[in-house]
Chains A and B, each alone.
Chain A
Amino acid sequence: MKKILTAEQVDRALSKLFKAVTANMPKDAPIAIIGIRTRGETLARRLVERLAADYPKMQVDLGILDITFYRDDLSRRRGAPLVRATEIDFDIDDRWMLLVDDVLQTGRSIRAALDAIHDFGRPRIIRLGVLIDRGGREVPIAADYVGKTLSAPDGQRIQLKLKENDGQEGAYIVKKA
């Protein structure tokens, strides 16, 4: 496991992502930020904290999405991992929505997340923000806001670790099993 981003670099990437989001979001209407479990949720929480500090008057609703039931590889896996509840307890219709994930690779999780969101309602606009875009897309999906672009060879996985989830902070390259 090789470290490719330090804690400071992760923080810088998050700042870059935050700037790109704030430059493009509407400031006069409530927005929704939806984090994809598990680390997308943590990143979404951090973005909401920063928004609250910089734009105290803005209404921001935070939602958490578990995409397990929407995955396209369900029938190919062996065994079922623990599923956690999706928590979107506000109306998403006609909202400006930011979808947040940690690492964008194949795009399949985002495809699943879009399906899940449409079961909750019809946002006016959905934008995708990711901390790391590492290439390797298998479906036609692109991020609108990116914290850090990396290129990692196929067969390697980039794993983001965050204080809240893992007790340490940084991005690592791990060999796929």
Chain B
Amino acid sequence: MARKAPISSKKRKSLPKRAAGHAAPNAEVTVEPDFVWTRKDLLGLDELSPREIVCLLETAESFKEVSTRSIKKVPAMRGKVVGLLFFEDSTRTRMSFELAASRLSADSLLFTAKGSSVSKGETTMDTVRNIEAMGVDVFVMRHGQSGAPHMVARQVEASVVNAGDGSHEHPTQALLDIFTMRQRLGGIAGKKVAIVGDIAHSRVARSNILGLRKLGAEVVVVGPPTLVPNAITAMGCSISHCLDDVLGEVDAINMLRIQFERFGGGLFPSLREYHKLYGMDAERLKRCRRDVLIMHPGPINRGVEITTEVADGPNSCILQQVTNGLAIRMAVLYLVSQGRE
């Protein structure tokens, strides 16, 4: 993996490739009033129907109202226990799920791999079974291995929510991104969204592509060839290796974090070059649509993916994403705890 040279420039213009068979319907997906959610687990957006995704978003709308009350709590999960299993580090997602559980009147138990039985050699399944034996109703699980929550879901009675598995899916992050876009753009169908950065290692990108395509948006992924696998077009998105080419034609730009912890470097020559070709700065923002939405799942590497000026500017909705994340996680916990398959 020592290809250093080919970050494309304007000279090597790459036209976005359109994947066949994924024609975006321009009608907004709606869900009828008598729709009933039945899923016990939320493992990814891959298995959800467009209506199930909209059901989650609509439920989150009603939980958003709860956070504006003077008493920010509802008894919807009173007496239930939410087990937070974080085999991998997290701040935002973990705290968001913890607060969501407490706003639903559930109790939560936190497990982090650091300084726990995992360092004594316990297997993932044994850890989960032991915690389940304490009487857990919903597991929220983050794990470095793709598919770990799916394995657990098959073997426990409790509901399982995927809070990020390896480089596979991060459904609640994508849901809160889509929720924010819906709020700010007034809809999803027919919109065009760019996802920029390390697509290859990003579970956020994968879940976003799946969710956005199901709701009828067009997605273009942007990054250097070393970070954008060609096979990603199978998910229904197009590819561009030149950020400047797509700036003027998109409604939202989701800037992904360069995940230094997931690869040893060598995939692009230098951070400075990456920033120059794929970083969002005031100069590039000027060439975007005036009301373009700038998103970032956090934590931000300021000056790499995005400059401080843009991250804190009026087009940015980065903090709104975090606020919406709470409503999304309340909706997810509530719905899976009600679901019986």
Cβ 8 A contact of A85, one of B31, B33, B61, B79: B61
Bound Cα distance from A155 to B76, whole angstroms? 27
In the complex the two chains form, is A85's CB within 8 Å of B62's CB? yes
Check A81–B69 contact: CB distance below 8 A: no
Write the nearest CB–CB distance from A121 to chain B, whole angstroms: 7
Measured between alpha carbons, how far is A80 from B37 in the docked complex, in Å? 5
* B59:A82 contact, CB within 8 angstroms: yes
Q: Cβ of A119 and Cβ of B69 under 8 Å apart? A: yes
Contact with A along B37-76 (1 / 0, CB 8 A): 1100000000000000001001101101110011101111
B69 touches A80 (CB 8 A): no
| Cα-based distance from A83 to B58 in the complex (angstroms) | 8
Bound: A80/B74 CA distance, A: 16
Q: Are A78 and B62 closer than 8 Å at their CB atoms? A: no
> Do the beta carbons of A80 and B33 come within 8 Å of each other?
no
Instruction: Tell me if B260 is interfacial: C-beta within 8 Å of chain A.
Output: no
Q: Does A55 reach chain B (CB closer than 8 Å)?
A: no
Please measure, in the bound complex, the distance between the C-alpha atom of A78 and the C-alpha atom of B335, giving whole angstroms. 11
Q: Give Cα A85 to B74, complex, Å.
A: 13
- Answer whether A86 and B36 are a contact pair too, CB < 8 Å, given A69-B75, A79-B339: no
Q: How large is the interface on B (under 10, 10 to 19, 20 to 34, 35 or more residues)?
A: 20 to 34
Count class of interface residues, chain A: 20 to 34
| Closest-CB distance, A92 to chain B (whole angstroms) | 10
Q: Assuming A69-B75, A80-B338, is B35 touching A120 (CB within 8 A)?
A: no
Residues of B within 8 A of A70 (CB): 74-76
Tell whether, in the assembled complex, residue A74 and residue B70 are in contact, meaning their CB atoms are under 8 Å apart: no
Residues from chain B with a CB closer than 8 A to the CB of A115 are 75
**Of A66, A80, A116, which one neighbours B334 at CB under 8 angstroms?**
A80
B62 contacts A119, C-beta separation under 8 Å? no
Question: Among residues 122 to 147 in chain A, which have CB atoms less than 8 Å away from a CB atom of chain B?
Answer: none
Nearest-CB residue, chain A, relative to B137:
A75
**Is B283 in the interface zone, CB < 8 Å from A?**
no
Contact of B340 among A78, A87, A120 (CB under 8 A): A78
Nearest first, the 6 A-B pairs at minimum CB distance are A80-B338, A69-B76, A69-B74, A79-B36, A85-B62, A119-B71
13 CB-based A-B contacts, threshold 8 Å: A70-B76, A77-B338, A79-B37, A80-B59, A80-B334, A82-B33, A82-B36, A83-B59, A86-B62, A86-B65, A86-B66, A87-B65, A120-B70
Q: Interface of B with A (CB < 8 Å)?
A: 31, 33-38, 55, 58-59, 61-62, 64-66, 69-71, 73-76, 79, 104, 334-335, 338-340
